[in-house]
Structure 1
Amino acid sequence: MKKVCLLLPNGFEAVEASVFSDVVGWNKDEGDGTTDIITVGTREKLRCTFAFTVLPDLLVSDVNVDDFDALALPGGFETAGFYEDAYREDVLDLIRAFNAQGKVIASICVGALVLGKSGILQGRNATTYNLNDRVRQKQLAAFGATVIPDQPIVVDQNIITSYNPSTAFEVAFTLLELLTSKENANHVRRLMGFIE
């Protein structure tokens, strides 16, 4: 069973987290059955960007990277405390550990800024939120990433980044494809109604 660590800092955007759990879950029940997802939080009770509470399966301090095959990270809102939690050193260390082992890391929207802050995007192609005068893309470039501004999803070796919430499902399917196969990911896409 391939396990995905769904990393949830406080203030994460729920829709961006839910696509990972849905795609991985659909694959577990209706696809090739080889994937599972474990939610990992920065605290015992997490507040989403738009005000509901989530109880993660594990805390960051409980994670053994060797138990997982991939890391998934949604974005979030500054006003909800996302960066305050996501930029914690234990979170950044966890990201670095996944990358050091070459495991797949998928982020949506401003989740890429957390990857950038960890240092793993130095000299690598990536993208992040592309609207509002591209402020977030400039921040990502300041972390040393080579920003591909108008490409919705950027894959550089083991890392997937994307430029806004509209890309969320496709990021999750790309993650599934890297963990299983293109044929299997398309099978799940078809079952979920994304392709005919």
Structure 2
Amino acid sequence: MKKILLLLADGFEAVEASVFTDVLGWNKWEGDGSTEVVTVGLRDKLTCTWNFNVVPEKTIHDIQLDEFDALAIPGGFEEAGFYDDAFSESFSNIIRHFDARQKPIASICVASLALGKSGILTNRKATTYAHPTSIRKEQLKNFGVNVQNERIVQDGHIITSSNPGTAFDVAFLLLEMLTTKENTHQVKDLMGFA
């Protein structure tokens, strides 16, 4: 069984988290059965961007990082306090742990800024929220990142994306990294994406 740590910051976007629970959950029951998602936060209760309250299964103090095979991080909104958690040293330490072991790291939208803040994207290719009115790409560049104008960027074991609309694609790409292209196609087909 491959365990995926779904790392949630206060102020995360629920839709960006749900794609990981759904795609990897469908794989657990309808695909090859090899994936299990564990939701983890810095505290016992989190509030999503749009005031939806979530109780993660575990806090970071309840887990052993070596038990996990991949890391997934949804983005969120500054106005909802996302960066308070996402830019914390606790978040950065978890990100660095997965990077040091070359385990898959999948981020959606502005979650790539947490990767940048941790230092793992220095001199690597990545993207972030890319709307023309946004300053997020410039922020990512300031972390020493080679910012790409692509919807999704994969640099080795790291996946970054440009907006919430990429969420399912990121989750399927992570599934493919953890299983096979054939298995991912089967799950996509069962979910109505193929």
Local SS of the residue matching 1:7: strand
| Equivalence for 2:161 | 162
Q: What TM-score do you get using the length of structure 1 for normalisation?
A: 0.97
CA deviation after TM superposition for structure 1 residue 27, in Å = 0.1
Contact 1:111 1:128 in 2 (8 A): yes
| Equivalence for 1:180 | 179
* 2:2 paired with 1:2: yes
**Residue type of the alignment partner of 1:14:** A
For the residues of structure 2 that align with 1:139 and 1:116, how far apart are their CA atoms? Answer: 9
* 2:41 paired with 1:56: no
Local SS of the residue matching 1:121: coil
Contact 1:8 1:40 in 2 (8 A): yes
Q: Any gaps of 5 or more consecutive residues in structure 1?
A: none
Give the length in aligned residue pairs.
Answer: 194
Alignment of 1:1-196 (within 5 A): 1-149=1-149, 151-195=150-194
CA deviation after TM superposition for structure 1 residue 51, in Å = 0.9
For the residues of structure 2 that align with 1:87 and 1:60, how far apart are their CA atoms? Answer: 15
Contact 1:60 1:91 in 2 (8 A): no
Contact 1:20 1:172 in 2 (8 A): yes
Farther-moved stretch of structure 1 (60-69 vs 160-169): 60-69
**Residue type of the alignment partner of 1:25:** G
For the residues of structure 1 that align with 2:100 and 2:20, how far apart are their CA atoms? Answer: 22
CA RMSD of aligned residues (A): 0.8
For the residues of structure 2 that align with 1:75 and 1:54, how far apart are their CA atoms? Answer: 15
For the residues of structure 2 that align with 1:3 and 1:166, how far apart are their CA atoms? Answer: 25
Local SS of the residue matching 1:129: coil
For the residues of structure 2 that align with 1:113 and 1:87, how far apart are their CA atoms? Answer: 8
CA deviation after TM superposition for structure 1 residue 88, in Å = 1.0
CA deviation after TM superposition for structure 1 residue 171, in Å = 0.1
Tell me the alpha carbon deviations over residues 156-175 of structure 1, each in whole angstroms, 9 at most, x when there is no partner: 00000000000000000000
Local SS of the residue matching 1:12: coil
Moved over 4 A (4+): none
Identity between Structure 1 and Structure 2 (%): 59
Q: What TM-score do you get using the length of structure 2 for normalisation?
A: 0.98
Contact 1:109 1:161 in 2 (8 A): yes
